[in-house]
Amino acid sequence: MKIIVTGGAGFIGSALIRYLIEQTEHSVVNLDKLTYAGNLESVSSVSDSDRYQFCKADIGDTAAMKRLFHDYEPDILIHLAAESHVDRSIDGPGEFIKTNIVGTFVLLDVAREYWTSLPKDKKDNFRFHYVSTDEVYGDLGHSGGLFTEKTSYDPSSPYSASKASSDHLVRAWHRTYGLPTLITNCSNNYGPYHFPEKLIPHMILNALEGKPLPVYGDGSQVRDWLYVEDHVKALYLVATSGKVGESYNIGGHNENTNLSVVETICTLLEQLEPNKPDGITNYKDLITYVKDRPGHDLRYAIDATKIKDELGWVPEETFESGMLKTVKWYLDNRSWWQRVLSGDYKLARLGSDGQE
């Protein structure tokens, strides 16, 4: 098949592309605008494949999206392109509205026009898979419950509100126009190639440099942590075997507080990188508590029963095994994150399509 992955230079998108090229026989088009978080070095291991192509474009550009569908004639579109950092959405929500809502609308409408023009066999097999987040459900608080696919939406941040809006658009395009859509809502991802502004890589890199490890509030916020390579296997399974019109929650079955995540990183670094920066006795001494984020949800937790029962997916990594792999990866791939921190990773964009 021909698969378009939007946001393919991002964290989850690049992991999905590596999986598709390395583990399947499908052809992949990586569609990415290459904003600050887009890094083509994250797909360098597969970019020489004759089944891989890169297209630099904005999902909000209707003419460019029409050309893309016309030129590549995809069988599946897996839509991951999004602004995703909650703190950035609080500081500047405009880009989140533009990309996450308007961009998704453009893709849906262009996909609908393309889909209606297909011959019956290709039309029956086409899929539009939208990748969303558990943050659309809001805050579980101290309820002890879990998010299911029937949980009411109650987003707390501009980011989660923009993703919730897109979920509703995708469902509307299915119910109104019959577009064969699928939605997945995932918990917090972690793993290799994660952009350094996110919690886990940020803490790893700060610790290695002897910088403070800032923890919001008292660090009691609970998240369900999902190893990114488990996630992309689930995405592929849903895109190829999921029931049209359905949504599937994808979780790691690994609830941990933010503080325990940071402490786990410190413990692993004590074992794997005992030579600390000058003046540092224990990595945990770097933990610093800072003012909490506005509207910070206390707890997210996924019930992934549906995807297990219907499609047979379960995560392979435990939190312990996934975190060990993640910390080791950052220690073994310093050049990747050093180039991100210095800004040199942007050089990989030059010449990718004749423009920056």
Cβ-proximal residues to 332 (8 Å cutoff; 6+ apart), any chain: none
CATH of segment(s) 2-349: 3.40.50.720
pLDDT > 70 in the chain, percent: 97
Contact 184, 236 (CB under 8 A): no
Contact 153, 122 (CB under 8 A): no
Tell me what pLDDT residue 354 has: 36
pLDDT at 57 over 80: yes
Angle of helix 199-208 versus helix 334-342 axis, rounded to 10: 100
Six-digit token string for 113: 């026009």
Residue from 32, 123, 117, 34 nearest 78 by CA? 32
Tell me what pLDDT residue 356 has: 35
Residue from 295, 293, 301, 291 nearest 155 by CA? 295
Distance CA 154, CA 136 (A): 6
Q: Which residue has the higher pLDDT, 349 or 157?
A: 157
pLDDT tens digits, 123-137: 999 999 999 999 999
Residue 355 CB neighbour total at 10 angstroms: 9
Tell me what pLDDT residue 293 has: 85
Q: Label residue 350 by pLDDT band (50, 70, 90).
A: low
What is the average per-residue pLDDT within 243-253?
96
Active centre residues (catalytic): 134-135, 159
pLDDT at 355 over 90: no
What is the average per-residue pLDDT within 96-102?
95
Tell me what pLDDT residue 349 has: 61
Q: Where are the alpha helices (DSSP H) in the chain?
A: 11-23, 62-72, 86-91, 94-96, 104-116, 120-125, 158-177, 199-208, 228-241, 258-272, 305-311, 319-332, 334-342
